[in-house]
Amino acid sequence: MLQPVQKSSLATSVYEQIRDLVLSGQLAAGSELPAERQLADTLQVNRSAVREALKRLEQAGLIAIQHGGNTRVLDYRRHAGLDLIVPLVQHDPSRLDDLRAFRAALLPEVARAAAERASADQIDRLEMLAGLLQSDDAEQRRDLASEFWNALIDASGNLAFRLAYNVIRRIEPEGLQPSADDYAELANALAAGDTRGAALATQAMMR
């Protein structure tokens, strides 16, 4: 019921504020940011807080900092990484469709890889989870489904799949509620080492 209180540092506030200005286009790509000292003065925080925020924006691919020169805003569509999809979707929920398409592209291939490389233990765990998904209340089903996909990613043994999944998991697109039978079918294909069947079953679940 109760949730942990959100603590946030000054630098994080500055970071999020400027990040959202860039993502929303209010700070156009190619334009120049005010000098650090001036930003600190405007935002009424210390220059170190501003600096920390700017360095994080640089790491995210949103701005380019140059020693001795001004700081420029970059085009996030060209320079940002997948991590930025999280604030982008929160800023523009219509982008959820993009995320769903991304997930639909990824997970069937994850299932294919898992069918090829999963260990017996991993298969067991996936079958167990699929079984537990048969009958339960909604909340528990959601947790189990999350566990299932998590285990599937592990079974694929692919680190790129894992890291990309870490990002989309932060959003909970909420869509699609595959039936327990769907999960069971996928688990069966995995147990049989049926790569094509696993990919097709997952593909069907993404619709």
Q: Is residue 85 within the footprint of a second copy (CB under 8 A)?
A: yes
Long-range (24+ apart) CB contacts under 8 A made by 189-192 are: 189/111, 189/115, 190/111, 190/114, 190/115, 190/118, 190/123, 190/126, 190/152, 190/155, 191/123, 191/127, 192/115
Site residues for DNA, window 17-36 (CB under 7 A)? Answer: 33, 35-36
Q: Is residue 69 within the footprint of DNA (CB under 7 A)?
A: yes
Q: Is residue 134 within the footprint of DNA (CB under 7 A)?
A: no
What is the Cα–Cα distance from 12 to 120, expressed in whole angstroms?
44
Q: Is residue 159 within the footprint of a second copy (CB under 8 A)?
A: yes
**Tokens matching residue 119:** 């260990």
* x-or-dash string of contact with a second copy, 101-140, rule CB under 8 A: xx-xxx-xxx--x---------------------------
CA distances to 3, 27, 160 from 20, rounded to whole Å, are: 25, 9, 27
Q: Is residue 175 within the footprint of a second copy (CB under 8 A)?
A: no
CA distances to 16, 33, 47, 57 from 51, rounded to whole Å, are: 13, 12, 6, 10
Count of residues in the chain:
207
Shortest distance (Å) from residue 198 CB to DNA? 43
What is the Cα–Cα distance from 69 to 189, expressed in whole angstroms?
58
**Tokens matching residue 126:** 């996936």
Applying CB under 8 A, the span of 27-35, 118-126, 161-169, 175-183 interacting with a second copy comes to: 161-169
Shortest distance (Å) from residue 31 CB to DNA? 13
Among 65, 151, 167, 191, binds DNA (CB under 7 A): 65
Q: Is residue 93 within the footprint of DNA (CB under 7 A)?
A: no
CB-wise, 14 or 189, nearer to a second copy?
A: 14
Helices (H), 157-179: 159-169
Among 161, 183, 185, 202, binds a second copy (CB under 8 A): 161
Site residues for a second copy, window 21-50 (CB under 8 A)? Answer: 48
Q: Is residue 51 within the footprint of DNA (CB under 7 A)?
A: yes
What is the Cα–Cα distance from 205 to 200, expressed in whole angstroms?
9
Shortest distance (Å) from residue 202 CB to a second copy? 11
Q: Is residue 64 within the footprint of a second copy (CB under 8 A)?
A: no
